[in-house]
Amino acid sequence: MMTLTSDDLIQIRRNFHQIPELALHEVQTHAYIKEIVSSFSQEFLELKEIPELPTALLVHVKGSDPSRTIGYRADIDALPVTENNDLSYVSKNSGVMHACGHDIHMTVALGILNYYSIHQPKDNLVFFFQPAEESESGGRKAYDLGAFTGIYHIDEFYGLHDNADLPTGVIGCRIGTLFAGTTEVNVIIHGKSGHAAYPHEANDAIVIAANFISQIQTIISRNIDPTKCGVITFGKLEAGSIRNVISGTARVEGTIRGLTQDMIEFIRQRIIEVTKGLEISFNAKIDVEYNQGGYFPVENNTELTTRFINYMKKSDAKYKDVAPAMTGEDFGYLLNKIPGTMFWLGVDSPGSLHSSDFLPHEKAIDDGIKAFTGFLNYRMNSEEN
């Protein structure tokens, strides 16, 4: 029977930090998770693989007198970021880093799982170590493969995300939308190339792209209620080959974010309508492509989240009500299908999420484990439930 100490957990997190892997390639990470879980008491545990999603792992904890199955998700992939931290445990995989703190997420989940491998829970628990959160929609893939609706039918789902701006160990949450939904958009503009000295004989794709970007931003400033939230950001523009040739094509890549799925759908439709007008104005062809599905907003279930927040406020956890954020999260798809709650865990990092100098405070690991095991014990055993 293995009980993880605080030092053990910190070392586990540092080991994860050294082997970051991109979406659907989390082979080392998956193997290390299995190694750790296999060292726990197996009396109540059952591990399940998903052959069609080979880096995913489900761990079922058998309850003593179950009336429900509670799911907990931890994402395991990393980002294509080159780390800029002077650490003894810096990333060993060039150009890849746990810049979003998924090493913290996995470690907290393993700490909670370790507790329940020793203290049998009343209800069934399922821990989902999810690949491909940053891209490739790993949560959606697992759901569509029936991972949570068959033998391990999950009644309610929980998960955390670390927060660089909250003090270490603070739990942040809110009823309703916590994170925005996102959709990626790619735009290809087809004009006509030509000599820089004869613009009248060409159709400048760069000029069209500039007008496209400017006009699309009016969707936010002039089509959306100022009290509601939507964001369109074009972060990449490719066009041209040399200064004295008018470019005949341009490619623009961006992201749409909104606090409701209706907002995202409205923005998508307006982009199509504005594009049609620009095609007529510039006598050009413009192709707009959206990624399939996108990420749904993370919308916390009212009843479950009210219970979660009330517990945190009454417990000795450090709790803070938070505003919605425009960050996106794959967990939104699961919460669209299964009621549940996502919450923040403060890690007080000097660098922001997704930055090369992101450096979470490791004390948050113990704080997160203590807060959520306390909530689960309350959820499973309180007469109010």
Q: Among all residues, which ones are annotated catalytic? A: 75, 134
Residues 6+ apart with CB under 8 A from 29: 16, 19, 20, 21, 55, 76, 77, 106
Q: How many CB atoms lie within 10 A of CB 93?
A: 15
Integer Cα distance of 298 and 341 in angstroms: 8
Q: How many CB atoms lie within 10 A of CB 82?
A: 11
- Which helix (H) or strand (E) covers residue 251, if one does? strand 249-258
- Which helix (H) or strand (E) covers residue 15, if one does? helix 6-18
Q: How many CB atoms lie within 10 A of CB 156?
A: 19
Decide: 19 and 29 in contact? Cβ < 8 Å.
Answer: yes
Integer Cα distance of 29 and 76 in angstroms: 7
Question: 133-144: buried (b, 16+ CB within 10 Å) or exposed (e) per residue?
Answer: bbbbbbbbbbbe
Integer Cα distance of 305 and 254 in angstroms: 32
Decide: 40 and 47 in contact? Cβ < 8 Å.
Answer: no
Q: DSSP letters along 176-219, please?
A: EEEE-EEEEEEEEEE-B-EETT-GGGSB-HHHHHHHHHHHHHHI
Closest CA to 294 of 160, 62, 135: 135
